[in-house]
Structure 1
Amino acid sequence: MTQRDDDDGGAGARAQAPHGRRRGRWLRRLMWLPVVLVAGSVLQVLALRVIDPPFSMFMAIRQIEARMAGEDDFTVYYQWRDLDRIAPALAVSVIAAEDQNFARHRGFDLDAIEQARAHNARGGATRGASTISQQTAKNLFLWGGRSWLRKGMEAWYTLLIEWLWPKTRILEVYVNVAEFGDGVYGAQAAARRYFGKDADALTAAESARLAAVLPSPRRYNAARPGPYVQRRAQWIQRNARQIGGDAYLESLR
């Protein structure tokens, strides 16, 4: 009886051993997963410092949404343009409209965040405080929404691009992947679509109108501006002059 019990115990231990080894392998793989994800994101951002992105995550998601909705004629308009082939007025207008502290902050504008928090606490229209760096991270790598996961990944990618890219590269990528209308991404596509010209020929007024639609590009149209876009474009032009106009771009180099 004792010998048989010993044999049964030995067989059970041998049966459990492979299961324990498999579980150990999976645990080791899970422990390595954060390292792989961090290393992958760093390499991704490093590569895009010198490689112009052929598309953004926002473009891919919008394309999928259109297909699922049966919009078979939907087209993404996107054509990369280096920053020196885009009118300086557009770059300055985007900064004046979206992130006037762009040259000074390191990805997050704490003063703007506090001002937005105080404004939102008083009620009324919600005000955001995303910097151009944050918006670049979101548009290029992520998806829309307000989940904690997405916000956490946005913060991580924002830190990476601020660490690994110069300010001029961040601005260059942003004006190329920002959505200026439904399916219209980047300065060159927007200039051709709305004004029938290349991005380097945009005037200050046209640039301000393009920057004015950025908060809601599928709601507003730069070619047919309503009262809101007209007022906002005028405000953007005033702000662009106040921050130094085209000379502001020299502070980024």
Structure 2
Amino acid sequence: MQAVWRALALLLCGVLVLELFFVGRIAAMAAIDPASTSFQRSEAWQLLQAGKLGQWRQQWVPYARISEHLKRAVVAAEDDGFVDHGGIEWDAIERAWERNQRLEQRAQAAGRAPAKVYGGSTITQQLAKNLLLSGERQFARKGQELVLAKLLELFLSKQRILEIYLNHVEWGPGIFGAEAAAGYYFGKPAARLSAAEAARLAVMLPQPKRFALQPNSRYLAQRARAVMRRMNHTVLP
């Protein structure tokens, strides 16, 4: 039993050290722009292995140099309650879980592999996941994501969270951040994006690699128009 208790104590100490590391990293982001995220480093490694690291595009720009249109479009498309919630939308998580369960039941009835939809994440949760966690879809990682989302909301302002998110979110293979996306898709800086261009970029975010292959698809055009109708009513931090 002593060996068991010793192992549990070591495990708890390890968890505590990890959480303190996360707290320190997040607190530092209030003043220091993060150079990269865990997700970006993983993507960079894959591009390097494929000999395509030269495709990498990213350039940090401050909040004031990102088009208001893009800020509104991303919030409208990804998390319209961003300024009001505390980092987590429990109702959205519950709806996503119920949708996943229905999809799994249908797949089992049809005799095929289940296809889950991992949705319900706020902008803060997406940032927490991409900044500090692996891409594995596990319950433990989801729990850690929720803790990190709360820490981000505790240490950073809403404006800072959105600034970091817009500078690191993926917009296609090796394309990260608003400045890189604006240059790649429209040949202009992020500060000069129009409302229509901003809406088109925003609706790519759920599946950026897929939509990078078909940026002018009818589906994206329809979704962009829907986002544009909501942008004028979107509140920014």
TM-score, normalised to structure 1, is 0.80
Map of 2:154 onto structure 1: 163
1:242 Cα offset (Å): 3.2
> Quick one: which of 85, 110, 113 aligns to 2:90?
110
1:191 Cα offset (Å): 0.7
Map of 1:42 onto structure 2: 23
> Quick one: which of 201, 207, 211 aligns to 1:210?
201
1:201 Cα offset (Å): 0.3
> Quick one: which of 192, 195, 215 aligns to 1:224?
215
| Consecutive unaligned residues in structure 2, runs of 5 or more | 107-115
Would the aligned equivalents of 1:194 and 1:223 in 2 still touch at CA under 8 Å? no
Which digits, 9 at most, give the CA deviation of each residue in 1:110-136, with x for residues without a partner? 232233344445548847110000001
Higher mean Cα deviation, 36-45 or 187-196? Answer: 36-45
1:76 Cα offset (Å): 1.9
Map of 1:172 onto structure 2: 163
Structure 1 counterpart of 2:80, one-letter code: Q
1:89 aligns with 2:69: yes
TM-score, normalised to structure 2, is 0.85
1:188 Cα offset (Å): 0.4
- Compared CA separation, residues 93 and 26, structure 1 to 2 (3 A): same
Map of 1:144 onto structure 2: 135
1:73 Cα offset (Å): 4.8
Higher mean Cα deviation, 46-55 or 144-153? Answer: 144-153
Which digits, 9 at most, give the CA deviation of each residue in 1:132-174, with x for residues without a partner? 0000111111222311232122112111101111100111111
| Equivalent-residue separation in structure 2 for 1:112 and 1:82 (angstroms) | 30
1:38 Cα offset (Å): 1.9
- Compared CA separation, residues 31 and 103, structure 1 to 2 (3 A): closer
| Equivalent-residue separation in structure 2 for 1:72 and 1:111 (angstroms) | 40
Higher mean Cα deviation, 110-119 or 37-46? Answer: 110-119
| Equivalent-residue separation in structure 1 for 2:101 and 2:10 (angstroms) | 45
Would the aligned equivalents of 1:213 and 1:222 in 2 still touch at CA under 8 Å? no
Structure 2 counterpart of 1:178, one-letter code: V
Would the aligned equivalents of 2:44 and 2:53 in 1 still touch at CA under 8 Å? no
Would the aligned equivalents of 1:90 and 1:208 in 2 still touch at CA under 8 Å? yes
| Equivalent-residue separation in structure 2 for 1:148 and 1:38 (angstroms) | 17
1:58 aligns with 2:39: yes
Q: Percent identity?
A: 39
> Which is higher, the Rg of structure 1 or of structure 2?
1
Map of 1:11 onto structure 2: none
CA RMSD of aligned residues (A): 2.6
| Equivalent-residue separation in structure 2 for 1:56 and 1:117 (angstroms) | 27
1:48 Cα offset (Å): 1.1
| Equivalent-residue separation in structure 2 for 1:79 and 1:112 (angstroms) | 32
| Equivalent-residue separation in structure 1 for 2:227 and 2:118 (angstroms) | 17
Structure 1 counterpart of 2:83, one-letter code: A
Q: Which runs of 4+ in 1 moved over 6 A?
A: 24-28
- Compared CA separation, residues 122 and 38, structure 1 to 2 (3 A): closer
Would the aligned equivalents of 2:60 and 2:177 in 1 still touch at CA under 8 Å? yes
Would the aligned equivalents of 1:93 and 1:208 in 2 still touch at CA under 8 Å? yes
| Equivalent-residue separation in structure 1 for 2:100 and 2:174 (angstroms) | 30
